[in-house]
Structure 1
Amino acid sequence: MGTLNDLSAAGTAVWLDFVDRKFLEAGGLEKLVQDDSLTGVTSNPSIFEKAMGHGDAYDDTLAAYDREHPGAATIDRYEHLAIQDIKAAAETLKPVYDRLGSKDGYVSLEVSPYIADDTDATIAEARKLWDAVDRENLMIKIPGTPAGAPAIAATIAAGINVNVTLLFSQDAYIKVAEAYAMGLEERVRQGQPIDRIASVASFFVSRIDTVIDKKIDERVAAGNAEAEALKALRGKVAIANAKLAYAWYQDFVASDRWQALAAKGAQPQRLLWASTGVKDPAYPDTLYVDTLIGPDTVNTMPPKTMDAFRERGTVAETLTQDVDGARHVLAEAERLGLDLNSVTDTLVEEGVASFAKAFDDLLGSIAAKQPATA
């Protein structure tokens, strides 16, 4: 047993925020499952851009595909590569999925960031990717944008597992949690089972502190009269925001509405802590894991954060500690004009734009790899 195993035993599932062909083929994912109680994998356009856009790990597969499908569109060439990796990860995690009775063991694949504001296109692409991968332990990633919430409800109602991504604000999280319940309720109305439908709500953490801390530092440097109060909030706003989202989750799963679904076998939509790599070297590199540990949650970590937590992480149920203190932090942030709502709105827009840029770069790098028969 090790620290990551202890984290899993404390109720926070260990997921890896990384996928790569060479890593999969070398048995890296399987080793994490066996040694560190890893139970899930997430991917996004940025991760695939780094994996596919650099080096030659995918060249042979791409060349073979091009021989069989001459003139194929770049997007189809990308999806062929991505789906192979996702299928391989899903196969590695299938024993976990079976052992845990569909409660974990998932791998996530994201819809195109180009359609983040198009509900109907998101629903259609979710179904297309679900059918193409054809693995019951797949989650389709849908952004928690205003257009994403109804797409989430419809996709869940269709029996497709969903990983809601790019959540920064409590309000946005509440909307997608309710969308998940709506999707399950629609399945109940249709007489469909709901006991093997799963979802996570990916609540981003470190990016909030990056923006808030920069605001704080600028005001302190300018000689703000509230300098000490501002400095006291550094590195605390994102964690407070996450703690209050979890407090809402606890109230929701205790509600009559959710209990009616639970009685029919519904699984709660777990909060997943994303963007858990520390950006500020002044903070411990395990900060966003140590402070967000609690039942029925997930922490998806980039490899460096996972290694750091394995070596020096601390396991305790921190997520439910000092919730009143978290409320005070957010009240202070509001009093001092740090405008968390504006920050989270901007971060959603920037997140979609960042993934779109990574997708542009990814498709560009794949387009540049000419078919072997050309």
Structure 2
Amino acid sequence: MTNPLQQLGEAGQAVWLDFIDRELLETGGLRTLIAEDGLKGVTSNPSIFEKAIGEGSHYDDRIRALLAQGRTEAAEVYEALAIADIRDAADQLRPVYDAANGADGFVSLEVSPYLALDAEGTVTEARRLWSAVGRPNLLVKVPGTEAGYRAIRTLVGEGININVTLLFALKAYLAVAEAHTAGLEAFKAAGGDVGKVAGVASFFVSRIDTQIDKKIDQRVAAGDRDADQLRALRGKVAIANAKLAYQEYLKLIETPRWKALAAAGARPQRLLWASTGTKDPAYSDVLYVETLIGPDTVNTMPPKTMDAFRDHGRVAKTLTQDVREAEGVLAEAERLGLDLGGVTRDLVTDGVKLFSDAADKLLVAVRSKLAQRRAG
């Protein structure tokens, strides 16, 4: 019998792991997830690397070797460690990539979060990382900012695989989809093989509910006259938002413009559900997996959520269910003044800052490790 994670694959949704570290790669943990759970990808970000490198001793030997090579700058050492991990993960996922004929089996590496508002800097960094990793199943992560849109169009136009991160709003998703499509058209016009270009649009989920629910709770506690209607929206806005994003995706792949690219072998830019760990203990620990299951999508889960879904997740094609209800949820949220648009704009700003702060901590952790190794 297949377990619930494998059943997600049978339903058309790829399971990716939102985690990477040296121990997972060296002890066979990643290969086990691929073999036993049907894992098809891995994502990383500065927060993940900060924990991986800063905690424990799994990177100590590599840091010592880099020091012996004369590499003493924290940023240089971090990048060497990260690229080694990403290459190893890509190599372990390569059989998945080959079996899927390039449709899955990816590992993601993020451009520096310090470049989130710098289109030219993002393009330069993405090109460099793409070349340094040197694996066809790499996805370079670019934030869904105004600068990011411009960078995405350029990079896809050069045949570079892109994972667009920090998407919260439908408007932002549509802008990203346009940038990806325009990039593919440019690549095709230049004689490139669009069938070899992959992309995902990472749409964040639970962070939206965290902020919306906070607003709801504050208003209910203050005795708002709409308290009952507000309570009824707790834990529903993020899922409704994601379901409507998928409806936009379904419309896009039916347009003549997309069909012309598909005829040339192009693959759709899949929606990827990110931030799927449940933050509120009042909700199911698999809420943001069970409610967003549908074909040609990805769910990238932290290890705890993956373990929970393997244990007691239920699989049904829920993503296209209750679409009218989802429209009603967003309409009600607007009527009640919950300002989803403002929340999603703030979440992009906050997300960029969180990743920048994590990068700061990461460099501090690497400097600490370098100091320890020198002393040792």
Q: Does the 8 Å contact 1:67/1:373 carry over to 2?
A: no
Q: Is 1:3 matched up with 2:1?
A: no
2:292 aligned partner: 292
2:228 aligned partner: 228
- Distance, in Å, in 2 between the alignment partners of 1:185 and 1:69 is 44
Deviation digits for residues 231-273 of structure 1 (CA, Å, limit 9, x no counterpart)? 1100000000000000000000000110010000000000000
Residue 3 of structure 1 aligns with an amino acid whose one-letter code is P
1:19 aligned partner: 20
2:353 aligned partner: 353
- Distance, in Å, in 2 between the alignment partners of 1:96 and 1:143 is 26
1:270 aligned partner: 270
- Distance, in Å, in 2 between the alignment partners of 1:156 and 1:62 is 34
Output the TM-score relative to the length of structure 1: 0.99
2:240 aligned partner: 240
- Distance, in Å, in 1 between the alignment partners of 2:115 and 2:251 is 33
Residue 333 of structure 2 aligns with an amino acid whose one-letter code is A
Q: Does the 8 Å contact 2:54/2:369 carry over to 1?
A: no
2:209 aligned partner: 209
RMSD: 0.9
Deviation digits for residues 265-286 of structure 1 (CA, Å, limit 9, x no counterpart)? 0000000000000000000000
Deviation digits for residues 319-344 of structure 1 (CA, Å, limit 9, x no counterpart)? 00011100000000000000000000
2:144 aligned partner: 144
- Structure 1 stretches lacking a partner, 5+ long: none
Q: Does the 8 Å contact 1:115/1:122 carry over to 2?
A: yes
Query: How far has the Cα of 1:221 moved from its partner?
Result: 0.9
Deviation digits for residues 189-244 of structure 1 (CA, Å, limit 9, x no counterpart)? 11111101000000000000000001001111111111111011000000000000
Residue 82 of structure 2 aligns with an amino acid whose one-letter code is A
Query: How far has the Cα of 1:108 moved from its partner?
Result: 0.2
- Distance, in Å, in 2 between the alignment partners of 1:88 and 1:189 is 34
- Distance, in Å, in 2 between the alignment partners of 1:369 and 1:15 is 30
| 4+ aligned runs moved over 3 Å, structure 1 | 371-374
Q: Does the 8 Å contact 2:63/2:370 carry over to 1?
A: no
- Structure 2 stretches lacking a partner, 5+ long: none
Alignment of 1:71-82 (within 5 A): 72-82=72-82
- Distance, in Å, in 2 between the alignment partners of 1:312 and 1:103 is 28
Residue 55 of structure 1 aligns with an amino acid whose one-letter code is G
Question: Is the deviation greater in 188-197 or in 231-240?
Answer: 188-197
2:58 aligned partner: 57
Residue 61 of structure 1 aligns with an amino acid whose one-letter code is R
Q: Is 1:367 matched up with 2:370?
A: no
Alignment of 1:325-340 (within 5 A): 325-340=325-340
Alignment of 1:38-57 (within 5 A): 38-57=39-58
Residue 351 of structure 2 aligns with an amino acid whose one-letter code is G
Which secondary structure does the structure 2 equivalent of 1:114 belong to?
Answer: helix
Q: Is 1:67 matched up with 2:106?
A: no
1:168 aligned partner: 168
2:157 aligned partner: 157
Q: Does the 8 Å contact 1:83/1:133 carry over to 2?
A: yes
Which secondary structure does the structure 2 equivalent of 1:200 belong to?
Answer: strand
Query: How far has the Cα of 1:373 moved from its partner?
Result: 5.3
Q: Is 1:135 matched up with 2:135?
A: yes
Residue 312 of structure 1 aligns with an amino acid whose one-letter code is H
Query: How far has the Cα of 1:370 moved from its partner?
Result: 2.7
Which secondary structure does the structure 2 equivalent of 1:267 belong to?
Answer: coil
Residue 15 of structure 1 aligns with an amino acid whose one-letter code is W
2:124 aligned partner: 124
Which secondary structure does the structure 2 equivalent of 1:139 belong to?
Answer: strand
- Distance, in Å, in 2 between the alignment partners of 1:196 and 1:293 is 26
Deviation digits for residues 65-86 of structure 1 (CA, Å, limit 9, x no counterpart)? 111124x422111000000100
Query: How far has the Cα of 1:55 moved from its partner?
Result: 1.5
- Distance, in Å, in 1 between the alignment partners of 2:369 and 2:235 is 43
- Distance, in Å, in 2 between the alignment partners of 1:119 and 1:308 is 39
Query: How far has the Cα of 1:59 moved from its partner?
Result: 1.1
Which secondary structure does the structure 2 equivalent of 1:338 belong to?
Answer: coil
Which secondary structure does the structure 2 equivalent of 1:317 belong to?
Answer: coil
Query: How far has the Cα of 1:2 moved from its partner?
Result: 0.8
Residue 97 of structure 2 aligns with an amino acid whose one-letter code is Y
- Distance, in Å, in 1 between the alignment partners of 2:137 and 2:231 is 44
2:30 aligned partner: 29
- Distance, in Å, in 2 between the alignment partners of 1:369 and 1:7 is 40
Deviation digits for residues 126-182 of structure 1 (CA, Å, limit 9, x no counterpart)? 010011100000000000001000101111111110000000000001001110001
Output the TM-score relative to the length of structure 2: 0.98
